[in-house]
Amino acid sequence: MHNGVLVTETFIQEANTAFSAPLEEDYEHLARQLARRGVDAEPLVARVMAFNVAVPTWGLGSGGTRFARFPIPGEPRNVFEKLDDCEVVFRLTRATPGISVHIPWDKTGNPSELRTYAQARGLSIDSINSNTFQDRPGQTLSYKFGSLSHSDAAVRRQAIEHNLECLEIGAALGARAHTVWIGDGGNFPGQLHFRRALDRYLDSMTAIYRALPETWRLFIEHKFYEPAFYSTVLNDWGTSYYCARELGDRAFSLVDLGHHGPNVNVEMIVARLIQFGKLGGFHFNDSQYGDDDLDAGSVKPFQLFLIFNELVDAERSAVPGFSPAYMLDQSHNVTDPIESLIASSIELSRAYVQAHLVDRDALEAYQEANDPLMALQTLKQAYTTDVRPILATARLRGGGAIDPIAAYRSSGYRRLMAERRPSETRSSAGIV
Ligand code: RM4
Ligand code: MN
Ligand code: MN
C-alpha cells in the first residue's frame, strides 16, 4: 500500500484550485509592497523552495508526558508506517525530504530495505540518533546511572558499542550525521564527580568519533536538566563547545531549542557557536518551561525569528564552513502529529524568509550609531511582514499545497489510517 493514494499530486492540485486566484492576488500585492522597500520577492520564493528541515520519525506517533499518553487513531506502528506519514508531510509542504531516525526505536532487520522504502517516497535518511537513555529488554547492563559517562567501564563500553552500531546502520541508510544525546547526570548533590564524569564522557565520545565515517559529522546535544534533575554531564553550550573542540573538526554542537534554562538568550548562543565554527545544527521545537517539545514557533515565534536572523546573517556573510543541519525534534501530545509537523515546517520557512527581509545595511548603521530604537525597528519591520503569500507560492511551485493543513484534513488520510492501522494497546507514559 502506498499512501500517496490519497495525497497524490492530482489531489493536491485539486485542493489548490480554490486558493490559487486569491494567492496570486496576495502575492502580487506583497511583491509590490516589498519592491517599495527595494526587495525582490522572486528570489525569496526560490530561497523558500530550497529550504529544508528534517522530520523526526519519533514525532509521528502521539507523544506523552510521564503522567500519560493519549494515542490517536491510525498511529504508525513501525518505521515504515512512520515513513508513510513523513511522505504526506513532504508532499504537502515540499520542505521535509530529510528524515532523522532513532536507534533502536527504528531498527529493522534490513536497513537497505528501509533506505529504498524512503527513496521510493522522495525521502532520505539524513541523520541517526543513538539511545542510551533507557534500557531495552534483554540488555545486559543498565543505564540507570548513566551510559557514556558511567562509573563502570563495562557500561560505558556497552554504550559505545551501541553508538558504533548506529554508525553502521546509518551508513547502510545513507545518513550523513550522527547525533548523540545522553541522559547522564545526577539527581542529587554529591552523586556525581563533575570533572570525572565529563572526562569519562569525552573518552567514550573519542571512541565514537574515531569510528565516524569520513564524510560524516558528529553532533553532540547538551541539555541542562532531565532526566537527571540536579546536574547533567553535557549541561550547556560552553561544555558542548569544549567537547566538540576536543573531539575534532567533524564534531559540532547541536542546539535543541528546548534544552536551555528559561529566558536564556538562545540566539546569542547560536551566534557564538557560529563565530567559533562549531554550530552543527538544530533540533527545533518550542517550550514554555523546559524541554516541552512543543511545535516550533508556537510559544516564542520572535525568538525563532531572532535565531534565523543570526543564521541568515552568517549565510549572507559567507562564514567559512557554515552549514547547519535543520531538524525538528518534537513530541506531539494533543495534536495530530502530521499537522504539527506541517505547521512547524511552515514556521521555520517563515522565520527564514523574514530573516532575509532584514535590511542589514540599515541595521549595521543603527548599530554603529548606537541607535537601539531604530535597530529594533529594523528587525520588527522584517518580523511583522506577512510573508504567507511567499511561503504558499513556494509550496505551489514545488508541487505542494497552498493550504497544507486544509488539504490534509480534506484528504481523509487519518480516517483511512485509523482503519488500516488497528491500534495497539500502548497507554504507557513516555515521550514516544
Ligand atoms: C531528548 C533530546 C534528544 C531526543 C530525545 C527523544 O530530550 O532532545 O534529541 O532524541 O529527547
Ligand atoms: Mn533533541
Ligand atoms: Mn529534547
pLDDT band at 423 (very low <50, low <70, confident <90, very high): confident
Gap from CA of 368 to ligand 2 centroid (Å): 37
Mutation probe of ligand 1 site: the residue of 179, 219, 283 with most atoms within 8 A of C-beta: 283
Does 1 have pLDDT greater than 50? no
Distances in Å between the alpha carbon of 389 and those of 29, 44, 128, 361, 420?
Answer: 9, 11, 34, 25, 36
Gap from CA of 327 to ligand 1 centroid (Å): 12
Contacts of 218 (CB under 8 A, 6+ apart): 177, 178, 180, 205, 208, 209, 212, 247, 250, 251, 252, 280
What value does the mean pLDDT of the chain take?
96
* Ligand 1 atom with least separation from CA of 131: 10
377 is written with which cell numbers?
Answer: 525597528
Q: What is the mean pLDDT of residues 154-160?
A: 98
pLDDT of residue 7: 96
* Ligand 1 atom with least separation from CA of 102: 10
Bridge partners (DSSP) of residue 159 are none
Of the candidates 118, 73, 79, 91, the one whose C-alpha atom is nearest the C-alpha of residue 417 is 73
Does 425 have pLDDT greater than 70? no
pLDDT of residue 428: 55
Rounded Cα gap, residues 3 and 306, in angstroms: 37
pLDDT band at 2 (very low <50, low <70, confident <90, very high): low
Does 396 have pLDDT greater than 90? yes
Q: What is the mean pLDDT of residues 371-394?
A: 98
Task: Please tell me which residue, 103 or 3, carries the higher pLDDT value.
Answer: 103
pLDDT of residue 3: 58
End-to-end CA distance of the chain: 25
Question: Residue 223 in contact with residue 181, Cβ under 8 Å?
Answer: yes
Mutation probe of ligand 1 site: the residue of 105, 219, 221 with most atoms within 8 A of C-beta: 221
Q: What is the mean pLDDT of residues 78-105?
A: 98
pLDDT of residue 4: 52
pLDDT of residue 343: 98
* Ligand 1 atom with least separation from CA of 331: 6
- In this structure, the number of other CB atoms found within 10 A of the CB of residue 34 comes to 18
pLDDT of residue 15: 97
Bridge partners (DSSP) of residue 252 are 219
Q: What is the mean pLDDT of residues 219-241?
A: 98
Ligand of minimum distance to the alpha carbon of 129: 1
100 is written with which cell numbers?
Answer: 532523522
pLDDT of residue 71: 94
Gap from CA of 87 to ligand 3 centroid (Å): 24
What's the angle, vertex CA 429, arms to CA 424 and CA 430, rounded to 5? Answer: 100
* CA trace torsion 108, 109, 112, 114 (10° rounding): -30
What are the pLDDT digits (tens) for 179-203? 999 999 999 999 999 999 999 999 9
Q: Which amino acids bring their CB within 6 angstroms of ligand 1? A: 58, 102, 129, 181, 221, 223, 256, 283, 291, 329, 431
Reported pTM? 0.97
Rounded Cα gap, residues 167 and 175, in angstroms: 9
170 is written with which cell numbers?
Answer: 546509518
Bridge partners (DSSP) of residue 179 are 129, 219
What are the pLDDT digits (tens) for 342-363? 999 999 999 999 999 999 999 9
Of the candidates 315, 311, 303, 316, the one whose C-alpha atom is nearest the C-alpha of residue 361 is 316
Task: Please tell me which residue, 270 or 1, carries the higher pLDDT value.
Answer: 270
Contacts of 138 (CB under 8 A, 6+ apart): none
Rounded Cα gap, residues 87 and 75, in angstroms: 14
Mutation probe of ligand 1 site: the residue of 220, 282, 329 with most atoms within 8 A of C-beta: 329
